[in-house]
Amino acid sequence: MKPNVVLYKTIPADQLARLQAAFNLTRFDSITDANRQEVIAALRHAQGLIGASHPIGNELLDAAPGLRAISTISVGYDQFSVPELTRRGITLMHTPGVLTETTADTIFTLILTSARRAVELAELVKRGEWRRSIGEEYYGTDVNGKTIGILGMGRIGYAVAKRAHLGFGMPVMYYNDKVNEQAESLLHARRATLDQVLAEADFVCVVLPLLPETEKLIGYAEISKMKPGAILINGSRGKIINEPELIRALQDGVIRGAGLDVFEQEPLPATSPLLALPNVVALPHIGSATHETRHAMVACAVDNLIAALAGDVTQNCVNPGALRNVAATGNEFKGM
């Protein structure tokens, strides 16, 4: 008998067909106030859940006593309480790896556009205000040869470092909880403290996961340790930076500027003071937003769910402890 699965996101037709072939599938384009009770009803008989872009809290989990696996179509999993899922014996799967390179491309786009004031000057041209050779008041800053400081040297951090060092001759320093031997041996990256990275880097790139210890890691005090000509880049999670304090630091001219793909509240409100600052490049969370990568993410998430509900959890599992909890209670997969 096929497991029952609830899908709460629109996905490509070929991947939808895979889910329909493997499971008894109940489909929702998203979870909203209007359909929440329908979702809850579907979850009562569900063994699997797949989707993205919506918090999955206790109300939904309580409605799904038979839930065994969740597959999120994302690398980040801050919309879940991992300890709670582990306690309940629910495996959480995610999609690392498939979005590494395109996210690194986005981060480097922020570096280049912020350094050369590309968005600001493109808007000047579109307004018809380019009437003479660009003068000093619109000069940017070089990227080539400048020092890049990377907060978080995982897969994406390494991919950014590789672009920086091999493509732009940038010395690399990084702040991470452990040594990245590949970055140090191949890219001559230097591990340093947070304060050292902030003080020495010309570009500080945040590529950390959102965890209790990283939330609001960067505030006014930390930004004040940066060089006056430095640029802060965030391509990970908005809540890692204290946004009101970043706004105040930019308004005070503490650093040159910021390039941001993520924000505390998304979509970013049109009233945000960030949008009034010419030295801010603000993108609508496009880190993985290419046709190729988004399709690969969905395919990976489908693979993950099929494997998890078959009891084969060998990769992409956020909480292996959930499997131990299932084994300890004797609550094994049934009817598959």
* Encoded amino acid at 172, one letter: V
pLDDT value of residue 323: 77
Beta sheet of 190-191, edge-to-edge order: 190-191, 172-175, 148-151, 203-206, 231-234, 257-260, 280-282
Task: Show which residues are catalytic.
Answer: 237, 266, 285
pLDDT value of residue 132: 95
pLDDT value of residue 273: 98
Summary mean pLDDT of the chain: 95
Work out the average pLDDT over 254-272: 97
Q: Which residues of 202-240 are buried (b: 16+ CB within 10 A; e: fewer)?
A: bbbbbbbebeeebeebbbeebbebbbeebbbbbbbbbbb
Residue pLDDT, tens place only, 113-171: 999 999 999 999 999 999 999 999 999 999 999 999 999 999 999 999 999 999 999 99
- Options 3.40.30.10, 3.40.50.720, 3.90.1150.10, 2.60.120.260; CATH for 4-98+292-329 is 3.40.50.720
Burial of 241 (C-beta count, 10 Å sphere; 0-12/13-18/19+)? buried
pLDDT value of residue 327: 47
pLDDT value of residue 326: 54
pLDDT value of residue 325: 64
pLDDT value of residue 334: 29
DSSP bridge partners of 50: 7, 71
Closest CA to 94 of 311, 300, 307: 300
pLDDT higher than threshold 80 for residue 254: yes
Domain residue spans in the chain?
4-98+292-329, 100-282
Task: Please indicate whether the domains covering 4-98+292-329 and 100-282 agree at the CATH topology level.
Answer: yes
Report the predicted TM-score, pTM, of the whole model to 2 decimal places.
0.89
pLDDT value of residue 333: 30
pLDDT higher than threshold 60 for residue 329: no
Distance CA 107, CA 306 (A): 32
pLDDT higher than threshold 60 for residue 191: yes
| CATH fold label, 100-282 | Rossmann fold (3.40.50)
